[in-house]
């Protein structure tokens, strides 16, 4: 990839090219590559909560509405000191809807990897979030993700409807066959009907309830 010249006076880096400084690129789309990670989360916290939390014994995730974390793309330097306080970061989960134009789905995968590379280059432990939209993105969502390393997936809102569940299962099968991870961090439910075959393959499955489910539990108890 050729460099973007932003050294001219008055030139603003609207492409966030600093995020991919010294990056290694993969595939025809030149997606920034993320280095393998050995650590795995014991606890997780959403980005919007992490901004004000003091429980740093967590990994920060972005499994929430895009509006809650688009700011990390718009002003990543502001949030770097906050994220570095935590044990690690799951790369941003920018939305990939199946009715989005393909180029927008690819762009959101690129953005997630670019931020992941930048966080790693600044000393953060990083695990790749694998998010796919339609079948055309199954391969793209693997580009730049390390093999034989932990990956993260969000199942919340993806397996309730049969049509969504089918796409989720097929996409996950593709990702597992391509990346061959040693662990899968699941945000949301991890039913045996989907994940038991991966356990049988020797893959560690770490499931974390969604904030929605945890809030619902508290409401019931109250």
Whether residue 106 lies inside any domain: the answer is: yes
Question: Would you state the structure tokens that stand for residue 67, as one six-digit string?
Answer: 């509006």
The pLDDT of residue 31 is 97
Would you put residue 148 in left (φ > 0), alpha (ψ -120 to 50) or beta? Answer: left
Whether residue 19 lies inside any domain: the answer is: no
Distances (CA, A) of 124 to 81, 82, 133, 179, 196: 10, 11, 27, 22, 31
Pairing of strands 59-61, 44-46: parallel
The pLDDT of residue 12 is 76
The pLDDT of residue 22 is 96
Task: Record the pTM.
Answer: 0.90
Q: Where are the beta strands (DSSP E) in 59-109?
A: 59-61, 88-90
Pairing of strands 59-61, 88-90: parallel
Range of the domain at 151: 30-221
Q: Which residues of 122-149 are buried (b: 16+ CB within 10 A; e: fewer)?
A: eebbbbbbbbbbeeebbebbbbbbbeeb
Whether residue 15 lies inside any domain: the answer is: no
Question: Would you state the structure tokens that stand for residue 196, as one six-digit string?
Answer: 């038991």
The pLDDT of residue 221 is 38
The pLDDT of residue 219 is 45
End-to-end, the C-alpha distance of the chain in Å comes to: 55
> Across the chain, what does the average pLDDT equal?
91
Whether residue 11 lies inside any domain: the answer is: no
Q: In what order do the strands lie in the sheet with 88-90?
A: 44-46, 59-61, 88-90, 126-129, 151-154, 183-187, 204-208
Closest alpha carbon to 64 in 45, 36, 82: 45
Whether residue 18 lies inside any domain: the answer is: no
Whether residue 170 lies inside any domain: the answer is: yes
The pLDDT of residue 88 is 98
Whether residue 36 lies inside any domain: the answer is: yes
The pLDDT of residue 217 is 58
Rounded Cα distance between 12 and 14, Å, is 6
**pLDDT tens for the chain, residues 1 to 222:** 444 445 555 667 888 999 999 999 999 999 999 999 999 999 999 999 999 999 999 999 999 999 999 999 999 999 999 999 999 999 999 999 999 999 999 999 999 999 999 999 999 999 999 999 999 999 999 999 999 999 999 998 777 877 789 999 999 999 999 999 999 999 999 999 999 999 999 999 999 998 767 765 554 433
The DSSP element (H or E) to which 152 belongs, if any, is strand 151-154
Whether residue 66 lies inside any domain: the answer is: yes
The DSSP element (H or E) to which 207 belongs, if any, is strand 204-208
* Residues ≥6 apart with Cβ < 8 Å to 4: 13, 15, 17
Distances (CA, A) of 34 to 5, 9, 112, 117, 135: 24, 32, 10, 6, 23
* Number of structural domains found in the chain: 1
The pLDDT of residue 194 is 95
């Amino acid at each position: 990839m050729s460099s973007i010249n932003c050294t001219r006076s008055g030139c603003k880096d609207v492409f966030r090219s600093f995020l991919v400084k010294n990056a290694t690129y993969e595939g025809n789309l030149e997606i920034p590559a993320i280095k393998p990670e050995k650590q795995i989360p014991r606890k997780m916290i959403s980005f919007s909560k992490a901004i004000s939390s003091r429980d740093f014994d967590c990994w920060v995730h972005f499994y929430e509405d895009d509006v809650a974390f688009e700011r990390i793309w718009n002003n990543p330097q502001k949030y770097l000191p906050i994220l570095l306080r935590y044990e690690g970061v799951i790369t941003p989960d920018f939305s990939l809807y199946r009715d989005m134009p393909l180029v927008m789905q690819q762009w959101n995968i690129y953005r997630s990897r670019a931020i992941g590379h930048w966080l790693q280059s600044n000393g953060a432990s990083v695990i790749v979030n694998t998010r796919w939209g339609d079948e055309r993105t199954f391969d793209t969502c693997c580009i730049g993700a390390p093999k034989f390393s932990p990956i993260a997936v969000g199942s919340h809102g993806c397996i309730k409807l049969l049509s969504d569940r089918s796409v989720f299962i097929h996409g996950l099968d593709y990702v597992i066959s391509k990346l061959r991870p040693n662990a899968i961090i699941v945000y949301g439910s991890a039913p045996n009907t989907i994940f038991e075959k991966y356990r049988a393959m020797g893959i560690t499955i770490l499931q974390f309830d969604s904030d929605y489910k945890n809030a619902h539990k508290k409401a019931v108890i109250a």
